[in-house]
Structure 1
Amino acid sequence: MSAVRAGDAEAVRDLLSRGADPDAVDANGLPVLCVAVTAYDEQVAEALVEGGADPDRVLPDGTTPLGCAVDGGSPALFSAVLGKEPRLRLAEAARERLLASARSWYETGAAEELRRRTGAPGPAVTVRVQDGEYDWVDQVTLGGLVVRAGHGAILTALEWAFRVLTPVDELIARAVEQPDEEHVGWSTVCWILTERRSFETWSAVVAHRHDPERAHRRFVVDYLRMRGFLDTSPYYEKEEGEVLAAWAAEETDGEMLAKVLDAFTNRAHPGQEAIGLRHAGHPDPRVRREVPYALCATRTPAARAALRTLLRDPDAGVRLRACEASMRDGDLLPEITRALLLLAEAPDAGVRGEAVAALAGSPDRTPAVADALAALLGEDNQLVRLEAAYGLARRDDPRTAEAIERVGPLGAGFEHDHRVDEFWRWRWRKDNPDGE
């Protein structure tokens, strides 16, 4: 109970592995899983459920931990508590109750439902909070009660868990209520639709690329981008490449066109160079930033000429993308290096950071690059110093030892970092000059 209340998921897992009861209760008979649910602690809740805690245990008030997670409105917490095979595990009546609860919260709205339950007057207090590792959701407080307004995402996830095939148009309507790729409603709908791997679902989603509302078109791009990572079916890859090629030729909105090109250039398509050349002079720099990735594969005279122009583009972001995309083209490397050396001296710290990362990984081994990397070791940003030291280590530069010292101690999360690994390899090469 102490470990759960402290939010120490590692300690909870350790105690469970040593025989602790996952359904332990406090003095009031409240299971530890409910303590985690109330605290919105999805990591502890996940540890408990994986360790055998019963999400369907009926509590004295007739609810269950899973039902409480649905009410709480956090999709991350709900996913942690859902458990395995809910469609087979739960009776039909229990499934219907959970669906009805999620639907009621979603349709009524978190603030209005709290007002109905508490009778509290006045406005609710709403703040944005992180939910899970990547997403955000609104947290609503009224009348002493707190819920998160992620019930639409929970409803979507429950329907899929119970294999209720909600119409695609209805799901997309839920997603675009908050037109933000990092909102739990948007990301959950996108994920579930990629899981529904039927041609009917795919066609219904892709049809929204013609929608006059930008949010609908943005959703289609996000869906296709996610599918590009998850589904390697040659049939869909070809079909999606054709859809994106046609879309890139038709889209007039600069923001949308940039997103379409981003998704398009992640797929092999014979028309990439033509699309890149078509948009190389686009007035929107967001579009021009995506063009280099369409041009870098062919290395034709026309593509190289366009890339040379982009290497001198007035927008720093375009120049960076042109450098990164064409880095392995030996004919362009001298021009790429010149562009990166200038970018490494830019007044914008973010631009300098990207430039040093590109220089560190560049195949250019000239002294000018090594000197530029060494000059960046005085940056306040530790990640910039890390990239600079990494680039020097790759080149076996005599300043590497000092560079590593200038990086300073690195915190958690760098144990398997490729730059830190390169420091180890540099030390090994230094201590074993004969390769033995």
Structure 2
Amino acid sequence: MDLPLLLAAVEREDDDAALELLYDATADDLAGEDAVALLAAAARAGCERVVDYLVVWDVDVTRPWDDGVDPVTWAAENGRYWVLQALMSRSRDPLSGDSPHRRALRTAQEALASGVGAESEPPPAHRAVITDLEVKLGIHRSPDELMARALVHADPDHDDWFASVFHLGLRIDQQTFDWALAAAQDASDRDRRRFGLDTINHLGIGLSVRMDVEDTELPFAREAEEFLRPLLHSEQDPGTLAIVIAAFTEHCSSDLVPALLAHADHPDPRVRRAVSPYLHTNTARHQEALGALIRLTDDPVPVTRTNALRTLAMSTVDTPGLRAVLAAHLADPYLDARLEAAVGLALRDDERGQAALDEIRSGIKNMNSPGRGRLSDIHHLLRVRAEAAEATAPGH
């Protein structure tokens, strides 16, 4: 294990590079002092994917770092929500007498009370840590309490907000929906309204996350759709509209494209990103959807244009104009966008696509390399398609 190279990758917060380097680490490497030093550096840099990888491979999270700091205590005290999640991903029995969960909860509560990191940017996520640990310890908080935690910063991108809506979403009951609907209808308070809408969104997501419930329609799905559909046309605040779109797509299973097309060219990137995964050309408004997707391939937000390129890649449309769009993105600076453009051309038997896939494949070093999973899926798809074509060819 090349510790200097790994530490350099972590210092620049390059999780992908660090994970590629870690692929060659041996069991002895991950049992030694270097692995503990790397764990400390990754945690402090916020490289939670690296922390998670090390924990999965049994790097000891109970071992103090060089300065005597306990990893779990450090993450809880500093409000590092995702780092703490990774550190505790293998922890069991949260209800035991002095479990790491109880210790972390006490630490986070004390840090919040004393104002640790209150002036930092972004603010620490002590409330998210507390919310998550309380759930694990069987402590039930009301929706009003969880919303109050989220609204301290009132930032839908902050972990305090996420932890509250996520755990409310896992409840997937009518009572929680009714509470969220009332909050979402409160026109006097934008943040409270946003939180209500996001809770409705996460109630839709919750069904796919919960493993102890049947995969069935939520009892309030129709009520949610009827409430959300008019807001697609009336909502004026872009941040709120993005949440409305996300919630609508969770609760509405039909006629998505016509409802969302009007927002494909919205000036706010949050709205365009929310729309981009749900447009497709298999609709009566084929030309409008196709045009919107092509425009979104030039979006400045990498994830948005990747979503558009992926949809176009897998569509049945094949025109010189579309091929030109795909070919233009073979030089996209974002790997995922470049990969989807190559996939689109390869699926249309365009030699440029296969050449680009081969070039991307040549850069794959191991199973931790970026793009490896998608590339493997596409390789399988192309192979199956080639075998099917061969089986139906004359003479077979």
TM-score with structure 2 setting the length: 0.65
1:354 Cα shift? 7.2
The match for 1:241 is 222
1:156, distance to aligned residue in structure 2 (A): 1.5
Q: Distance in 2 between matches of 1:81 and 1:264?
A: 34
Aligned to 2:344: 391
Equivalent-residue separation in structure 2 for 1:25 and 1:347 (angstroms) = 42
Identity of aligned residues (%): 22
Is residue 355 of structure 2 the alignment partner of residue 405 of structure 1? Answer: yes
Q: Which has the higher contact order (CA 8 A, sep 6+)?
A: 2
Q: CA deviation at 1:231?
A: 0.8
Query: Are 1:421 and 2:372 an aligned pair?
Result: no
Map of 2:281 onto structure 1: 327
What's the counterpart of residue 161 of structure 2? 186
CA distance in 1, matches of 2:167, 2:142: 12
Report the Cα offset of residue 409 of structure 1. 2.8
Supply the distance in 2 between the matched residues of 1:47 and 1:364 (Cα, whole angstroms): 44
1:45 Cα offset (Å): 6.5
Distance 1:80 1:61, change over 3 A: same
Amino acid in the other structure paired with 1:216: R
State whether structure 2 residue 160 is matched by structure 1 residue 153: no
CA–CA separation in structure 2 for the residues paired with 1:434 and 1:420: 21
For 1:433 and 1:241, how far apart are their aligned partners in 2?
46
- The 1-side partners of 2:267 and 2:382 are apart by 37
Aligned to 2:250: 266
Equivalenced residue count is: 358
Give the Å deviation of 1:190.
Answer: 1.9
Q: Name the structure 2 match of 1:110.
A: 116
Task: Give, in whole Å, the separation in 2 of the partners of 1:218 and 1:33.
Answer: 37
Aligned to 2:98: 91
Task: Sort the Cα spacing of 1:50 and 1:189 in 2 relative to 1 into closer, same or farther, 3 A.
Answer: farther
Matched residue, 1:381: 332
Equivalent position SS for 1:53: coil
Aligned to 1:303: none
1:370 aligns with 2:377: no
**Which stretch has the larger CA shift, 344-353 or 252-261?**
344-353
Does residue 51 (structure 1) correspond to residue 35 (structure 2)? The answer is no
Q: In 2 relative to 1, CA 403–245 (structure 1 residues): closer, same or farther, beyond 3 Å?
A: same
- Report the CA distance between 1:349 and its aligned residue: 10
**Residue of structure 2 equivalent to 1:72:** 78
Please say if residues 281 and 289 of structure 2, whose CA atoms lie closer than 8 Å, have aligned partners that are also in contact: yes
Alignment CA distance shift 1:13-1:238 (3 Å): farther
Q: Does 1:292 align with 2:242?
A: no
Contact 1:46/1:81 (CA < 8 Å) preserved in 2? no
CA distance in 1, matches of 2:299, 2:105: 54
SS in 2 for 1:417: helix
The separation in 2 between residues aligned to 1:230 and 1:344, in whole angstroms, is 29
Residue 215 (str. 1) matches residue 191 (str. 2): yes
Aligned partner letter, 1:230:
G
Moved more, 155-164 or 103-112: 103-112
1:175 is aligned to 2:150? yes
Q: In the TM superposition, what whole-angstrom CA distance separates every residue of 1:304-325 from its partner, at most 9, and x where no partner exists?
A: xxx8xx6999999999979974
Whole-Å separation in 1 of the counterparts to 2:194 and 2:370: 32
What is the root-mean-square deviation in Å for CA atoms of aligned residues? 5.3
Q: After TM superposition, give the deviation of residue 106 of structure 1 in Å.
A: 1.8
**Equivalents in 2 of 1:75, 1:370: separation in Å?**
48
Q: What secondary structure does 1:91 align onto? A: coil
Change (3 A) 1:206 1:259: same
Contact 1:385 1:407 in 2 (8 A): no
2: CA distance, partners of 1:374 / 1:89: 61
Check whether the contact 1:70–1:98 (CA below 8 A) recurs between aligned residues.
Answer: yes
Q: Using a 3 Å threshold, how does the CA distance of structure 1 residues 87 and 374 change in structure 2: closer, same or farther? A: closer
2:205 to 220, 229, 252: 229
Per the TM alignment, residue 52 of structure 1 is displaced from its structure 2 partner at its CA by 7.0
Q: Distance in 1 between matches of 2:305 and 2:74?
A: 48
Would the alpha carbon gap of residues 362 and 197 (structure 1) be closer, same or farther in structure 2, given more than 3 Å must change? closer
Give the whole-Å Cα distance in 2 for the aligned partners of 1:319 and 1:76: 27
Decide whether the 8 Å contact of 1:37 with 1:77 is kept in 2: yes
Show structure 1 runs of 5+ residues with no match. Answer: 113-123, 128-136, 139-148, 274-290, 296-306
CA deviation digits over 1:376-401, x for unaligned, max 9? 524542666655543343333xxx11
Amino acid aligned to 2:138: R
State the TM-score, normalizing by the size of structure 1. Answer: 0.60
Measured at CA, do residues 153 and 205 of structure 1 come closer, stay the same or move farther in structure 2, by a change above 3 Å? same
Q: Displacement of 1:332 after TM fit?
A: 4.7
For each residue in 1:63-113, what CA deviation from the matched residue of structure 2 results, as whole angstroms up to 9, or x when unmatched? 854323311321122222335235323339x8766434312322332246x
User: Secondary structure of 2:95's partner?
Assistant: helix
Q: Does the C-alpha gap of structure 1 residues 414 and 208 become closer, same or farther in structure 2, counting only changes over 3 Å?
A: same
CA distance in 2, matches of 1:316, 1:374: 27
* Consecutive unaligned residues in structure 2, runs of 5 or more: 11-17, 209-213, 364-368
